[in-house]
Structure 1
Amino acid sequence: MTDAAPLTRPGRRPARKAPRVVVAVGLTLALAAGVGYAAELGPFDPGPPIPDADAAKQARAFLAEWEAGRMARAAALTSSPEQAERVLQSFTAGLDISGPTLTPGAATAGEDGAVTVPFTAKMPVTDLGTWTYASALPLREQDDGSWKVDWALSLVHPKLSSTEKFRLEREDAAGPEINDRDGNALSSEKYPSLGPLLPRIAGGSGAGPRGAVRRVDRATGDIKGTEATFGKKSDRPADRPVATTLDATWQSAAEKALATEAEGKDAALVALRIDDGEILAVANSPASGFNRAVSGTYAPGSTWKIVTTSALLLKDAVAPGDVVDCPQYLTVGKRFQNVETSKYPGATFRKDFTASCNTAFISLRDKVGDQELGDVAGKYFGVGQKWRVGIPSYDGSVPVPRDQTEKAASMIGQGRVQANPLIMASVTATAVSGAFHQPTLTSGKDTTKTTPLPREVVTQLRELMRATVTDGTASVLADLPGDVGAKTGTAEVSDGVPNNGWFVAHRGNVAVACVVEKGVTGGASAGPVVRGLLDAVPGDPS
């Protein structure tokens, strides 16, 4: 029996007023008749309608504009732009929704010519959580042959109607006092970056701010139902203070350093103790909103070369004194280059590290297996394991490269390698101590399993990071007293967007990591932030 010929689409017909029913025609005559009749179809039956591709495309465009907050542009794709814009604005603003994710499903065609595209909505309600529900977009062909979303309140949410709407209710319950490691009270007024964190810490065991999305009668305001609830009640007595690992002095200095040195750019910083992973400071700029320091997902750029170097040293694939040439460019599927297209002919690996030479590191990619970088990151540095920090956190990802170009990018902290300041502060602490300690803000349980780095690897990493301060790209810290070590990073974002700047450092028993979005280079943008912090707090925490 031969296979059925592919379904074909008729050409577009002239515009007409009646909605079009999309029909597929043309099955091969060689299709065995028994197969067709078994399904109660004649041998020439065209089968079910195929949804119009233009309709599905219009649905995706509508969801993309709504998702991006461009309500006027989304509304313009509907049959009732004025009402659509008003409702979409009211819905997202009134429920404190920001950054929704709207995922379309497969389109289906109805007998009346309409096309329906289902979608899943994930609506983050500020400071509470994500409201997830399913809805669908009806689309109809217009007189001119184009397609528009057939506007109805119910497409925003199936239960939104002319008689019922939604109302956000927040529970403004006073939480317990939050203290730093020395018993000093912490507040969002004095430490703005802690504003989004304190409610989560106060609840303990995942409890935090509480609230609900209610469905109410438009005329009376009476509650008709509850669509989503957020948070849970804490079992901790409200009059019992919550102790944290934070240090008020370090927290204040971190917030001041970001405010004075980040030049108004989005930025984040984490400082933690090297010997036990206890977090001393978490600061974000802007202070309110997304906690990019702990939950951000960034390419760590050249700060990741600490992990790459560890992988190379662990298998004796390179030594600091080995010559590893640093050319201006290196092509592995795409052309890679160094910052400011620098080059160092005949450079040693020590020079490659201190000058942050991308091409030298990429040239060593065959020295490690495709999965090896991720294995080292997880086994020795805990990256990608589940961390119990005390607040929600993103704990990193190092996927196996899909090809040699992505492997080359992974060697320098690009590609799909993802981290944030918390992760990179921990990586720094592990590199210079040899032991991973799960970062924590409270007395959370550590369920990670890691292996200590060999002492000789730790010694070499410390020497390389120290040389980066005395003779390399981290010279912004060169005149600080003590055995200070550091690594800079510049991470590409996308074409036409300035690079993110990274800087990690260690001094005494403290490791610090900072990212400045669109900072261009780590030494020039994140470096001064770390310098400002270390200048303000010259000694170790108690």
Structure 2
Amino acid sequence: MTHLPSPPDAGFGHATTHRNRGRRRGLRAAVAVTVVTAVAAGGAYAVGLGPFAHDEAPDPAATAQARAFLADWAGGRLDSAGSRTTSPARAQEVLRNFTAGLDISKPQLTAGTAERAGDGTVRVAFTAKMPVTDLGTWTYRSHLPVQEQKDGTWKVDWSLSLVHPHLSDTAKFRLERADTTPPKVTDRNGASLTGDAHPSLRPVLAQLAGGGAGPRGTIRLVDRATGEVEGTEATFGKPRKQPADGPVTTTLDATWQAAADKAMTEQADGKNAALVALRVDNGEILAMANSPATGFNRAMSGTYAPGSTFKLVTSSALLMKNAVAPDDIVDCPKYLTVGKEFHNVETSSFPNATFRKDFTESCNTAFISLRGKLGDTELGDVAHKYFGIGQEWRVGIPSYDGSVPAPKDETEKAASMIGQGRIQANPLIMASVTATATSGRFHQPTIVPGATDATTTTPLPKSVVAQLRTLMRATVTDGTARVLADLPGDIGAKTGTAEVSESEPNNGWLVARRGNVAVACVVEQGVTGGGSAGPILHSLLSAVPGDPS
């Protein structure tokens, strides 16, 4: 154990560095920091001094002096605080070393009751709340003995124990700050991932590296002569959820992540937005990006109405029941009233449209007209059974796993057919939906290799998968996802426009699959999916033309 250089008589409180090359990383010093809860023994005044020993109330001047001492100490006026004691220079020195040495900022000292002892001393109890930089607050109780002087004034009778009951000529405090430098986080190929190079990963790197444990430290009471620990006064922070030794490997791909961050920066137009890219064959997350890059992780934990991108699930439910076929005529009027008036984007209409046309042009009224083909709980059952939505996903970091509740009435059932109502999802969920719809099998998304999978799903029929892939490809070549039509490869996609409220612009969605990668993007107040999310995914897929290794 090594000790940091201490100021004169810093033994009243200082930090040390402590390293252990074993399983855990050693404790690292931080400019002396503070301590947490310590319960001090408050003294009771002397007893057995006669029936009239405490009849006299404490002199108000004594209490006023104690309160003034505490106010000066809390305010950092240590010369003034010292002058109110029987040992001004010593008191000033100890108070300075105690607060500065343990990195205590802005102490909160609250006076309590005052009692007069048999020898005339007035004891004023107080509670100390000592904020320790970056760790927490050390709270304890002590008391001030105040004695009347020969000239009739009152002074705090100085002793180390009034600062803290355990502080003495033989014992002092030492702060040990744990090394909370997160271990290196790497991508699937061993490349380093940092917040500087990949801004969207800043909020999750700490979660990946150590479970978001945060700063940790301990306040020890030690023997002044030997340095041996006599007790633990306070402990801060939580232990890591995984060993800190060695790099933390993820499923992310540095190339895809860099392209995702760049696409967000250049194409999100300053709006709140998020995207996820993952492998179709196993659900491994290749990239996740948010705009703004810091703060709430919309990509993984957002709760949005997925709008027409959810028609992948609705279509699966309809096709599996043979309730509709791609070449069936399903009229697409401008409006349809089911308790409320529903309409298509820009109130478009396609008379005598086929279901294929309804899908590629994202006709809301056509899909709503088919609501009677599904039972009230059927859409949610399909989402849960085949797409894993609403089951517990163990991604490796916090995530929201979606909800498709049974509709409360016919109007809500109509809204559910087009991904509205109370249906909630996010880019993670919709990237997974896209992968499942175009491969036939759900794979729990993960961001760390070997994550536990507690889901239970059933594969989609191959015939349904083939139909969905054909419909999604037609949406790119002839429908609302034409923004991706100039890109090479057999890209399939689905746009979405999700209403938020009557007074706010719609959210824009776009999901797509190319090769072994499925992607999903949402842009808050983006109005349309092709117009807002389209440029973001176009930028991403242009920058990374091939599948990940």
Q: TM-score, normalised by structure 1?
A: 0.65
Helix, strand or coil: the match of 1:440? coil
Q: 1:153-185: CA deviations, max 9, x gaps?
A: xxxxxxxx9975977844771011100000001
Answer yes or no: is the 8 Å Cα contact 2:303–2:425 preserved in 1: yes
Contact 2:511 2:521 in 1 (8 A): yes
Is 1:333 aligned to 2:334, yes or no? no
Unmatched 5+ stretches in structure 2: 1-125, 136-177, 219-232
Q: Tell me the amino acid that sits aligned with residue 417 of structure 1.
A: I
The answer to whether structure 1 residue 472 and structure 2 residue 479 are counterparts is yes
Partner secondary structure for residue 185 of structure 1: coil
Q: Which runs of 5+ in 1 are unaligned?
A: 1-160, 215-224
Amino acid at match of 2:429: I
Q: Which amino acid aligns with 2:213?
A: P
Is 1:534–2:541 an aligned residue pair? yes
Secondary structure of the equivalent of 1:195?
helix
- After TM superposition, give the deviation of residue 234 of structure 1 in Å: 3.5
- Match among 400, 403, 428 for residue 397 of structure 1: 403
The alignment status of 1:355 with 2:361, answered yes or no, reads: yes
Secondary structure of the residue that 2:422 maps to in structure 1? coil
- Residue 497 of structure 2 corresponds to 490
Cα distance change, pair 451–496 in 1 and its aligned pair in 2 (3 A): same
- Cα drift, residue 479 of structure 1: 1.3
Map 1:174-189; keep pairs closer than 5 Å: 174-189=181-196
CA distance in 1: counterparts of 2:359 and 2:236, whole angstroms:
50
Q: Give, in angstroms, the shift of residue 495 of structure 1.
A: 1.8
Distance 2:537 2:238 in 1: 35
- 1:210 aligned residue: 214
SS in 2 for 1:233: coil
1:127-146 CA distance string (max 9 Å, x none) = xxxxxxxxxxxxxxxxxxxx
Q: Give the SS at the match of 1:202.
A: helix
Instruction: Call closer, same or farther: CA 1:230–1:497 in 2, change over 3 Å.
Output: farther
Q: Is the 8 A contact 2:283 2:446 kept in 1?
A: yes
User: Contact 1:168–1:213 (CA<8 Å) still a contact in 2?
Assistant: no
Which residue of 2 is the match for residue 366 of structure 1?
372
Select 2:457's aligned residue among 437, 450, 463: 450
After superposition, what is the alpha-carbon deviation per residue over 1:446-482, rounded to whole angstroms, capped at 9, x for unaligned?
A: 1100000000000000000000000000000111111
DSSP-derived class of the 1:490 partner = strand
C-alpha displacement at 1:320, in angstroms? 0.4
Q: How do residues 70-469 of structure 1 correspond to structure 2 at under 5 angstroms?
A: 169-170=134-135, 173-203=180-210, 207-210=211-214, 231-238=238-245, 240-442=246-448, 443-469=450-476
Alignment match of 1:507 (pick from 509, 514, 517): 514
The code of the aligned residue for 1:459 comes to A
| % identical aligned pairs | 68
1:51-82 deviations in whole A, cap 9, x for unaligned? xxxxxxxxxxxxxxxxxxxxxxxxxxxxxxxx
Q: 1:182 to 1:496 in 2, by over 3 A?
A: same
Once residues 217 and 427 of structure 2 are traced to their aligned partners in structure 1, the CA distance between those partners, rounded to angstroms, is 33
Asked whether the 8 Å contact 1:167–1:213 carries over to 2, the reply is no
Quote the residue 1:109 is aligned against: none
1:208–1:232 Cα contact (<8 Å) kept? no
Structure 1 residues 363 and 244, CA, compared in 2 at 3 Å: closer, same or farther?
Answer: same
CA distance in 2, matches of 1:270, 1:379: 22
Q: Secondary structure at the match of 1:197?
A: helix
Question: How has the CA–CA distance of structure 1 residues 360 and 189 changed in structure 2, closer, same or farther, with 3 Å as cutoff?
Answer: same
CA contact under 8 A between 2:333 and 2:351: conserved in structure 1? Answer: yes
| SS of aligned partner of 2:471 | helix
8 Å CA contact 2:213–2:241 kept in 1: the answer is no
CA distance in structure 2 between the aligned counterparts of 1:522 and 1:234, rounded to whole angstroms: 39
CA-atom RMSD in angstroms = 2.2
Deviations 1:382-420 (A, max 9, x none): 000000000010000000000011110110000000000
Letter in structure 2 aligned against 1:308: T
Q: State the secondary structure of the residue aligned to 2:203.
A: coil
**How many residue pairs get matched?**
368
User: Would the alpha carbon gap of residues 378 and 231 (structure 1) be closer, same or farther in structure 2, given more than 3 Å must change?
Assistant: farther
Shift in alpha-carbon separation, 1:293–1:229, aligned structure 2, 3 A: farther
Residue 319 of structure 1 aligns to a residue in which SS?
coil
Letter in 1 for 2:485: A
**CA deviation after TM superposition for structure 1 residue 236, in Å:** 1.1
Distance 1:291 1:381 in 2: 22
Partner of 1:154: none
